């Protein structure tokens, strides 16, 4: 790589040194009237809104103007060393939402962003332990994490929340329909069995009625024939048109 001048090379080296050096910086400080201000020139002094110490304005040509403690002292153990990624995210919100100090039970921390509704937004560019996450969430309560996942984004499986919910609704509806169909089929089978049973009973009763009806008809016919036969015998006997067979001991009509 060829640089245009020694000055540009020196600037690049200075920038590289700054980028490699972890610094806890702030965008806002308090002036003597306790008003939040941004630095306007290098060497400008202000008061740290968190620890009330002195902070110095850093307003060079290479990096974004900011406030910084003398000797890079860190007054907020939760504050991540700010990068361009942090600054770009914070710039999306109003100044009075940025770097808001929150105090609770004797502890004070600077939230990256606190919205008008009281929701804290933390921008996390580096790795963080689950215990630290839990501590911060307990302190801030209602909060949102914005994580720079550029280095491990390929490890995520991205899914649509809407599609997932619709899929769950579809699965639940399918299960409900299947359950209703099963219940319907059970009821239908029970009704069908009852109908078949009633058909058999009706057929058996119908056959029994027909059988008894046939018996009644036969009996009626026998009775009619018996009446005719009896009347005939009576007539013959009254007319004495019969004879006695002594060999067979039977009376025969002439």
Rounded Cα–Cα distance for residues 48 and 51 (Å) = 6
Report whether pLDDT(9) > 50: no
Domain boundary among 121, 137, 157: 157
Torsion angles phi and psi, residue 45, rounded to 5: -110, 145
Average pLDDT over residues 121-125: 92
Q: In the prediction, which pLDDT does 238 show?
A: 63
The reply to whether 81 falls in a domain is: no
Chain centre distance of CA 30: 47
The boundaries of the domain holding residue 206 are: 161-253
On whether both 91 and 173 belong to a single domain, the answer is no
Report whether pLDDT(156) > 80: no
Q: In the prediction, which pLDDT does 224 show?
A: 76
Rounded Cα–Cα distance for residues 115 and 78 (Å) = 19
Report whether pLDDT(144) > 90: yes
User: What is the count of structural domains for the chain?
Assistant: 3
The reply to whether 197 falls in a domain is: yes
Domain boundary among 123, 157, 191: 157
Report whether pLDDT(116) > 60: yes
More confident: 228 or 37: 37
What DSSP element (H or E) covers 226? Answer: helix 161-238
Contact 144, 122 (CB under 8 A): yes
The reply to whether 181 falls in a domain is: yes
What DSSP element (H or E) covers 154? Answer: none
pLDDT tens per residue, range 57-101: 888 877 778 888 876 666 766 666 778 888 899 989 998 999 898
On whether both 49 and 5 belong to a single domain, the answer is yes
On whether both 126 and 186 belong to a single domain, the answer is no
Query: Strand order in 66-69's β-sheet?
Result: 25-26, 66-69, 54-58, 45-47, 29-30, 36-37
More confident: 10 or 41: 41
Domain boundary among 12, 47, 75: 75
Contacts 24+ apart (CB under 8 A), 114-118: 118/142
């Amino acid at each position: 790589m060829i640089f245009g001048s020694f000055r540009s090379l020196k600037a690049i080296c200075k920038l590289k040194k700054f980028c490699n050096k972890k610094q806890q910086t702030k965008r806002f400080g308090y002036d003597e009237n306790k008003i939040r201000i941004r630095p306007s020139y290098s060497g400008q002094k202000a008061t740290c809104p968190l620890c009330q110490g002195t902070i110095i304005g850093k307003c060079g040509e290479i990096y974004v103007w900011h406030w910084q403690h003398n000797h890079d002292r860190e007054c907020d153990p939760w504050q991540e060393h700010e990068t361009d990624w942090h600054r770009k995210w914070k710039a999306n919100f109003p100044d009075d939402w940025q770097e808001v100090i929150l105090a609770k039970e004797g502890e004070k921390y600077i939230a990256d962003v606190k919205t008008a509704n009281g929701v804290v937004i933390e921008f996390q560019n580096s790795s963080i332990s689950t215990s630290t996450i839990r501590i911060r969430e307990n302190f801030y309560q209602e909060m949102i994490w914005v994580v720079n996942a550029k280095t491990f984004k390929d490890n995520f499986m991205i899914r649509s929340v809407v599609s997932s919910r619709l899929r769950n609704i579809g699965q639940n509806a399918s299960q409900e329909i299947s359950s209703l169909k099963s219940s319907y089929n059970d009821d239908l089978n029970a009704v069908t069995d009852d109908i078949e049973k009633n058909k058999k009973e009706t057929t058996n009763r119908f056959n029994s009625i027909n059988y008894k009806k046939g018996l009644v008809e036969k009996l009626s016919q026998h009775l009619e024939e018996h009446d005719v036969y009896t009347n005939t015998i009576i007539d013959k006997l009254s007319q004495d048109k019969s004879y006695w067979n002594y060999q067979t001991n039977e009376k025969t009509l002439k």
